[in-house]
């Protein structure tokens, strides 16, 4: 599998001018998560824990299939725009119920499932069932109760185009989920001279990096992100991160920190 550098998106122009001089904005396309993305997701999960709002649920949505079906918020919308709409709906839903909005997310493109979206978020026990029922309304696909399913699968849709799970991946913490969401950051990158070398900014490499083209919004790549309150690059969150050990942050080489 060839590995492409993802540090520079300048080769993908946001504006093209066809004949006649009319500007048409183009969507940015990425093949992999940018360098440092996995670390940002891990740090965000740690910040959520420190704030008392740990990432404890996972939602997976097969965005490409729902777009093709014209279902729910994906009706008539590009996948990236529908995700942006969904995040805003989820944020308002949580805040209205007094549940702090803390989330981390990443988009992928699978060979079988196509474009899909993983999101880790904080939920309280008293609102979990209501969130799952709301997921059916947002996506336009009904919830079902199969007789056999994995223990962590607590909300399943009719055609498995959405799934809500207990967040903890293999019984571990939100940081393990964050590492999994960041798996599409390349393990190997190319230098400006075409040399291959290890991507030292990637903190955990045990999950296979699959890659795959993903289109963003008109203004951004929109491949991964966090809620604002746990954004690692903010000044307030940087102060909190300074109190957390490198071992907790899964940092192996400080010289490669992206922020």
pLDDT tens, per residue, the chain with 259 residues: 333 333 322 223 333 444 555 445 789 999 999 999 999 999 999 999 999 999 999 999 999 999 999 999 999 999 999 999 999 999 999 999 999 999 999 999 998 899 999 999 999 999 999 999 999 999 999 999 999 999 889 999 999 999 999 875 555 679 999 999 999 999 998 877 888 988 989 999 999 999 999 999 998 999 999 999 999 999 999 999 999 999 999 987 656 555 4
Give the Cα separation of 171 and 17 in Å (integer). 52
Check residue 170 and give its pLDDT.
Answer: 56
Does 12 reside within a domain?
Answer: no
Does 4 reside within a domain?
Answer: no
Structure tokens at 169: 């991946």
Check residue 195 and give its pLDDT.
Answer: 87
Does 171 reside within a domain?
Answer: yes
Does 20 reside within a domain?
Answer: no
**Domains contained in the chain, number:** 1
Does 9 reside within a domain?
Answer: no
Which residue reads 């030292």 in tokens? 200
Does 167 reside within a domain?
Answer: yes
Give the Cα separation of 218 and 17 in Å (integer). 15
pTM for the whole thing? Answer: 0.86
Check residue 21 and give its pLDDT.
Answer: 52
Check residue 24 and give its pLDDT.
Answer: 56
The DSSP code sequence of the chain is ------S--TTS-SEE--TTS--EE---EESSPPTTHHHHHHHHHHHHHHTT----EEEEE-HHHHHHHT-GGGTTS-HHHHHHHHHHHHHHHHHHTT----EEEEEEEETTTEEEEEEEE---HHHHHHHHHHHHHHHT--EE--SS--TTEEEEETTSSEEEEES-GGG--HHHHHHHHTTTS-SEEE-TTS-EEE-TT-----S------EE--SSS--SEEE-GGG-TTSHHHHHHHTTS-HHHHT-S-GGG---
Does 7 reside within a domain?
Answer: no
Give the Cα separation of 85 and 63 in Å (integer). 12
Does 19 reside within a domain?
Answer: no
Which residue reads 């944020």 in tokens? 91
Range of the domain at 200: 27-256
């Amino acid at each position: 599998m060839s590995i492409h550098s993802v540090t520079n998106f300048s080769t993908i122009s946001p504006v093209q001018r066809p004949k006649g001089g009319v500007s048409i904005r183009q969507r940015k396309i990425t093949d992999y998560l940018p360098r440092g993305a996995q670390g940002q997701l891990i740090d965000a999960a740690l910040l959520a824990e420190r704030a008392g709002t740990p990432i404890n649920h996972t939602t997976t949505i097969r965005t490409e299939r729902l777009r093709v079906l014209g279902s729910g918020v994906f009706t008539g919308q590009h996948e990236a725009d529908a995700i942006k709409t969904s995040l805003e709906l989820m944020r308002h839903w949580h805040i209205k119920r007094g549940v702090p909005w803390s989330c981390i997310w990443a988009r992928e493109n699978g060979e079988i499932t196509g474009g899909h979206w993983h999101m880790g978020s904080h939920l309280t026990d008293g609102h979990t069932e209501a969130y799952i029922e709301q997921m059916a309304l947002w996506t336009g696909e009904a919830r079902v109760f199969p007789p056999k399913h994995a223990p962590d699968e607590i909300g399943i849709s009719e055609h498995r185009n959405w799934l809500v799970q207990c967040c903890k991946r293999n019984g571990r913490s939100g940081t393990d989920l964050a590492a999994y969401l960041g798996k599409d950051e390349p393990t190997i990158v190319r230098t400006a001279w075409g040399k291959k070398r290890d991507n030292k900014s990637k903190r955990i490499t045990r999950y296979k990096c699959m890659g795959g083209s993903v289109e963003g919004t008109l203004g951004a790549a929109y491949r991964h992100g966090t809620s604002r309150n746990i954004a690692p690059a903010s000044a307030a969150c940087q102060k909190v991160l300074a109190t957390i050990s490198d071992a907790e942050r899964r940092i192996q080489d400080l010289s490669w920190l992206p922020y």
